[in-house]
Amino acid sequence: MFLKFLRLEIKSFFRGTSVGLNLTMKILRFIGIIYFMACLAGGAFAIFFYVRNEMHQDPLKLVSKFLVIAWAVDLILKYIWQEMSTQNIKPFLTQNIPKNTLVNYMLVKTFLSALSWLNSLFFITFSVIAMVNGYSVINVLTWLIGISFLFYLNNFINILFNNKETIVIVIGCLFAAVAGLGYYNVIPVLSYSEKFIYGFYKNPYLIVIPVMLFFILWRICFNYVRKEFYLDQGLEAKKQLGKTENIAFLNKYGVIGTFINNDIKMLRRNKVTKGILIGSFFFLFYGMLMYTSTVYKTPAMMMFMGLFVTGGFQFLFGQRVPAFDSSYYPLMMTLNVPYKEYLKAKWWLINIVTAVSVVIALFYAYFGWEVYITFFAAGLYNIGVNSQLTLWSGAFNKTQIDLNSKEKRLGQKNSFNLKAILLLIPKMLLPMGVFALSKYFFGMTAGVVSIAVLGLAGFLFREKIFDIIVKQYKSEKYSTLDAFKNKG
C-alpha cells in the first residue's frame, strides 16, 4: 500500500499545471542537497582527523560531547520548516482504505524529508572512518544506531508540539535557560551529553533507551494523529473567531495609517508573518559570522553583513508585498486603492523596523566602533535606497502566500523573475563595491560618508522613485491578478 501511495504522488507531480517549473525546482533542490551531502561527508573527515591529529583527543568522545547542541538545533529547524503533509492524503479518506494505514504512511513520510536524513550522512561517514581507524565495529554501530534514533525522535516531538505555541515558547525558554547554565558552567551540560551519548559506544546495551523511546513516541503520535484524522476535525482548515483590533493613533495619518494598521494586524495574527518577525530578529545576529571566517572581515563583506543585520525585515517582508495580500488583492483592485499610498505604508513600516534594527545593532560596538559604524551606514542605505528597491522587486513576485501555513513553498509558480534578480545589483553589489573602494582609497570615514550620501539621495528623491515603482506595479497589475486568482 505504501508503494501505491508513492506512485500516486509521483503521478500527481508530473500531471500538475506547473510541471516544468516544479521539475526545475526539484533539480535545483537536488543540487542543493548534493552540496550539503558533500559538506557533511567532508566535515566528518575534517573533524575526525583534526581532533585526533591536531587536538590529540578522542574524536568519538568530542563529537558525543557536542551532539546535544546538534540535537537541539535539529529540533528547532524541524519545528520551523517541517510540517506533516495532509493535502495529498485527504482524497483517500473517502476510499475504502484503513485509516491506520494512512496514519502510518504520513508518519513514515516525515522521515523522507531531507531534514530527517541529511544529518545521518555525517554520522554514517564519521562511523565508517572510526571503524577503519581501529574503533570496535560493533560498538561504533551501536553508537550510530543510538544517536540516529535520538535524532529521529525529533520528528515525533515536532508533530506533538505543532500548533501548540505556548508549549513551544515554554520549551524554548527552557532550552535557553539550560544553554545559559551550560555556558556559565553552572550545569555541565556538555559533560552529561558526552557521558550519555558516548555510553552507546562503551555500553552497547544502552541503545535500548532511544529505541524504546522511538517506538513509544511512534505509538503516541499514531494515537494523536489517528484521533484527529477526520476531514471535519483535525484535517479541517482551522478557523478562529475574528477579533477587532485597532491602533487608534495611526488613524490620524489617513490612508497610509490605515494600511500600516492593517499590516501590523497581519504580522501579529498569522503564522507566516510571525515567522517573518522571528526571522528578522535572528538576522540581527548575522554579523556574528565575521568571527567564523576571515572573508567576512573584508570591507565588502562587512557591508554585506550590515545590509542583512539592519535589513532582515525589509528583505523578508518587503519583497513579498503584494504576495502577502494575495488572498484579497483582487478585491483591493476593484476598490480603486491608491497604489502610491499603499506602497508608502509598506515603505514606512519597513523603515521604522529598519531604524529600530540599527539601534539594536548597537551591541556590535562591543566588537569595535568600526564594525557598528559600517552597520550604521548599511542601515542608512537600507532606509534610503533598498527600501524602495525591495518594494520595486515585489512587483515581480506573483507567488501566492497562505498566511496560515508555516510550510515554506519555494518552488511555487512565479517565484522567480529575472528583473527581480537584476535589482540585486543596486541592492547589494553597489553598496558593497562603493564602500570597499571608498575605504580602500580614502579611509573609513569616506566609506561611511559615501554610503550615507547614497542613502540620503534615495530618501530625498523618493517621490520620483515611487512614481516609477507605481508605474511598474500598474503594468504588472493584470498578470499579478491572474496569478493570484489561478491557484493551480
Q: Are 98 and 227 in contact (CB under 8 A)?
A: no
Q: Do 208 and 302 belong together in one domain? A: no
Q: Do 272 and 140 belong together in one domain? A: no
Q: What is residue 177's predicted lDDT score, i.e. its pLDDT?
A: 87
Query: How many domains is the chain built from?
Result: 2
Q: Are 411 and 388 in contact (CB under 8 A)?
A: no
Q: Do 343 and 395 belong together in one domain? A: yes
238, part of any domain = no
Q: Do 282 and 171 belong together in one domain? A: no
Which position has the higher pLDDT, 273 or 17? 273
Q: Read out DSSP for 267-323? A: HHH-HHHHHHHHHHHHHTTGGGGGGT-GGGGSHHHHHHHHHHHHHHHHHHHGGGHHH
Q: Do 193 and 276 belong together in one domain? A: no
Q: Are 470 and 388 in contact (CB under 8 A)?
A: no
> Judging by beta carbons within 10 Å of its beta carbon (0-12, 13-18, 19+), is residue 185 exposed, middle or buried?
exposed
User: In the predicted model, what is the mean pLDDT of the chain?
Assistant: 79
Q: Read out DSSP for 423-457? A: THIIIIIHHHHHHHHHHHHH-HHHHHHHHHHHHHH
233, part of any domain = no
Whether 198 has a pLDDT exceeding 90, the answer reads yes
What is the percent of the chain where pLDDT is above 90?
A: 19
> Judging by beta carbons within 10 Å of its beta carbon (0-12, 13-18, 19+), is residue 477 exposed, middle or buried?
middle
Cα 447 from chain centre: 32
Q: Are 28 and 410 in contact (CB under 8 A)?
A: no
244: which 3 cell numbers? 477587532
Distance (Å, rounded) from C-alpha 63 to C-alpha 123?
10
Q: Are 386 and 314 in contact (CB under 8 A)?
A: yes
244, part of any domain = no
The last residue of one of the domains, among 192, 227, 262, is 227
Q: What is residue 124's predicted lDDT score, i.e. its pLDDT?
A: 93
> Which H or E element spans position 76?
helix 59-81
> 95: left (phi > 0), else alpha (psi -120 to 50), else beta?
beta
Closest CA to 374 of 449, 294, 460, 424: 449
Q: Do 223 and 323 belong together in one domain? A: no
Cα 39 from chain centre: 20
246, part of any domain = no
Distance (Å, rounded) from C-alpha 122 to C-alpha 68?
15
243, part of any domain = no
469: which 3 cell numbers? 515603482
Whether 83 has a pLDDT exceeding 60, the answer reads yes
Q: Do 220 and 80 belong together in one domain? A: yes
Closest CA to 274 of 405, 411, 175: 405
Q: Do 201 and 258 belong together in one domain? A: no
Summarize the confidence of residues 388-414 as an average pLDDT.
Answer: 63
> What's the pLDDT band for 404 if we cut at 50, 70, 90?
low
Distance (Å, rounded) from C-alpha 70 to C-alpha 100?
33
Distance (Å, rounded) from C-alpha 156 to C-alpha 149?
11
Q: Do 150 and 203 belong together in one domain? A: yes
Q: What is residue 232's predicted lDDT score, i.e. its pLDDT?
A: 53
> What's the pLDDT band for 466 if we cut at 50, 70, 90?
confident
Q: What is the pLDDT of residues 358-372, one digit of tens each?
A: 899 888 888 888 888
**Would the pTM count as exceeding 0.75?**
no
Q: Do 183 and 265 belong together in one domain? A: no
316, part of any domain = yes
Closest CA to 254 of 120, 375, 348: 348
Q: What is residue 486's predicted lDDT score, i.e. its pLDDT?
A: 63
Distance (Å, rounded) from C-alpha 271 to C-alpha 403?
6
10: which 3 cell numbers? 509521483
Q: Do 50 and 143 belong together in one domain? A: yes
Q: What is residue 146's predicted lDDT score, i.e. its pLDDT?
A: 94
296, part of any domain = yes
Distance (Å, rounded) from C-alpha 123 to C-alpha 121?
5
475, part of any domain = yes
Q: Read out DSSP for 29-43? A: HHHHHHHHHHHHHHH
Could you tell me which residues come within 8 angstroms of residue 281 by beta carbon, excluding any fewer than 6 positions away? 312
Whether 305 has a pLDDT exceeding 60, the answer reads yes
Distance (Å, rounded) from C-alpha 344 to C-alpha 324?
16
| Residue count (the chain) | 488
Instruction: Give me the domain span that covers residue 221.
Output: 2-227
213: which 3 cell numbers? 523511546
The last residue of one of the domains, among 169, 193, 227, is 227
Q: Say which range, 147-161, 327-341, 414-428, has the weakest mean pLDDT.
A: 414-428
> What counts of helices (H) and strands (E) characterise the chain?
23, 0
What is the number of other CB atoms lying within 10 angstroms of the CB of residue 297?
A: 13
Q: Are 476 and 395 in contact (CB under 8 A)?
A: yes
Q: Do 223 and 260 belong together in one domain? A: no
